[in-house]
Amino acid sequence: MKRIACLSVLTFGTALSIFSSTVYAEPPMQPFYAAVMKMAPEGKLGQVIKKEKIATSVKGAQAWRVAYISSDISGRKTIATGMVVAPVGAAPAGGRPVMTWAHGTTGTAQNCGPSQVFDPVVPLNEYFLMDGNSWTDYGIPAVDEFIKEGYVIAATDYQGLGGGGKHQYGVAATNGMDAINAARAAGSMKETGANKKAIVYGWSQGGGATIAAASRPEYIKQKGTAFDDLDVLGFVAMAPQDVAVLAPAGKLDQASADKYFAASQKEFSNNIFNFGHATMFYWGTQAAFPDLKLSEVFTDEGVKVFNKIYGNKCMHVGSDTLNYYYSSNFMKLVNSKPTNTLAWAEAMVKGSVAPVKPAAPVQIYFGTADTVIPPPMHKAYQDQICKLGGNVGRMQLPGEQTHFSTPPEAKQYYLPWIRDRIAGKPLANACPQS
């Protein structure tokens, strides 16, 4: 019995030794993305620097993989990949509106972009739901309906998920810019017949990206892009996160930063799945703000583990690896007393949703059984933005909807909302009346 126990310890120790090196290989890439990763991020925002036609089973649609120029929260140019889908045939007089989709969490490695899966232009296909048929979430919600309506769809992968560079996971401002520039990319392609009207819609990570995009009216109005004068008419956010709204009011000091950082850690450390999201967020925040050091938040072992996992694996397989090696002991990978917390807290706030009046109305959909994005988070966002003069609606979906059932359940409600915004119909202020 003692010998078996010793062998178990030796086996576990040998397994852990794979994390001893800080060098890790990029995952294998398809030729399109391998070529893009060698390109420099040079050009106008939204400029398509590479594209290829791809097959789609969506009736009446044509589709392309694209790589385009975007930028991040620090103003650095980046390359993002994604897809553009448009109806076949000539566009009607006046052109076609653009729906720009911001996807939920798929991971942080270069091979985690939804455009890279087999047959990527399909309705949203979720890993956790019964109809899920892949190791990841992929597809585009309401793609069939939007094509029938005569819309163009732009679906970003975000930077770092196929276009090179380290993915700024959960840095909503950067992710939102990628969604805006995806719409510019689709508009710049003559094949799409796009006009200037646009809607941004997203879920989870992409829900945060959506409300972050809404909070950047000046970025949307910026001139000198590949497709100027984009007219964003509305923002649909399903279960959106807003890290900044939970920060203490006013300028952060050391004491308030410590409290804010500790609360954010506690919120997402109740299980290994949420822990994976949280540690990916710190990993992505450090990518956006390179002066931060992962060793300030993670133990030495944690730095090695997370660099290996998040540089090579996507969301669900990454969680499985953490569970395999650490099970309920995952908190040993983070420092019990993190350092430089003021800088980290300031970066978390800066990379999140700016507290400004949105560029257009925002509509939020959520479920009461969501344990991934706490509903009070987007309720606080609504309260904050309504006080600034924004028009923010927030609808609780019928039944006990989870984080993952939110997109399919919300579709019946957001389709007419989008149709009315495209038609220019008036919208009453949806903010709660005091």
In the chain, where the domains are located: 31-243+353-423, 246-349
How far, in Å, CA of 60 to CA of 87, rounded? 6
Say if strands 61-71 and 77-87 run parallel, antiparallel, or are unpaired: antiparallel
Q: Which two tokens stand for residue 116?
A: 């890279």
The pLDDT value given to residue 17: 41
The pLDDT value given to residue 249: 83
The pLDDT value given to residue 428: 96
Answer whether residue 433 shows pLDDT above 90: no
Q: Which of 352, 292, 294 is nearest to 171 (CA)?
A: 352
Instruction: Write the pLDDT tens digit of every residue in 111-145.
Output: 999 999 999 999 999 999 999 999 999 999 999 99
Instruction: Write the pLDDT tens digit of every residue in 55-101.
Output: 999 999 999 999 999 999 999 999 999 999 999 999 999 999 999 99
Options 3.40.50.2020, 3.40.309.10, 3.40.640.10, 3.40.50.1820; CATH of 31-243+353-423: 3.40.50.1820
What is the average per-residue pLDDT within 147-153? Answer: 98
Instruction: Tell me the CA distances in angstroms from 119 to 149, 206, 305, one per residue in order.
Output: 22, 21, 32
Answer whether residue 242 shows pLDDT above 80: yes
Instruction: Write the pLDDT tens digit of every residue in 270-285.
Output: 889 999 999 999 999 9
How far, in Å, CA of 424 to CA of 118, rounded? 37
The pLDDT value given to residue 11: 37
Quote helix, strand, coil % in the chain, to nearest 5: 40, 20, 40
Name the strand (E) or helix (H) holding 254. helix 254-267
Instruction: Tell me the CA distances in angstroms from 80 to 37, 77, 119, 210, one per residue in order.
Output: 10, 10, 19, 16
Instruction: Write the pLDDT tens digit of every residue in 280-325.
Output: 999 999 999 999 999 999 999 999 999 999 999 999 999 999 999 9
Helix axes 300-312, 272-288, angle to 10 degrees: 90
Instruction: Write the pLDDT tens digit of every residue in 319-350.
Output: 999 999 999 999 999 999 999 999 999 999 99
- The structure tokens 């019995």 sit at 1
Do the beta carbons of residue 25 and residue 163 sit within 8 Å?
Answer: no
CA–chain centroid gap for 130, Å, is: 23
Q: Specify the higher pLDDT residue, 137 or 4.
A: 137
- Partnered with residue 197 across adjacent β-strands are 231
Do the beta carbons of residue 200 and residue 183 sit within 8 Å?
Answer: yes
Collapsing DSSP to helix, strand or coil, 36 comes out as helix
Q: Mean of the per-residue pLDDT values for the chain?
A: 93
Confidence band, pLDDT 50/70/90 cuts, at residue 248: confident
The pLDDT value given to residue 2: 37
Answer whether residue 261 shows pLDDT above 90: no
Name the strand (E) or helix (H) holding 68. strand 61-71
The pLDDT value given to residue 157: 98
Helical ranges in 54-142 per DSSP H: none
The pLDDT value given to residue 262: 87
The pLDDT value given to residue 26: 65
The pLDDT value given to residue 41: 97
How far, in Å, CA of 165 to CA of 84, rounded? 22
Helical ranges in 193-247 per DSSP H: 205-214, 217-221
Answer whether residue 8 shows pLDDT above 70: no
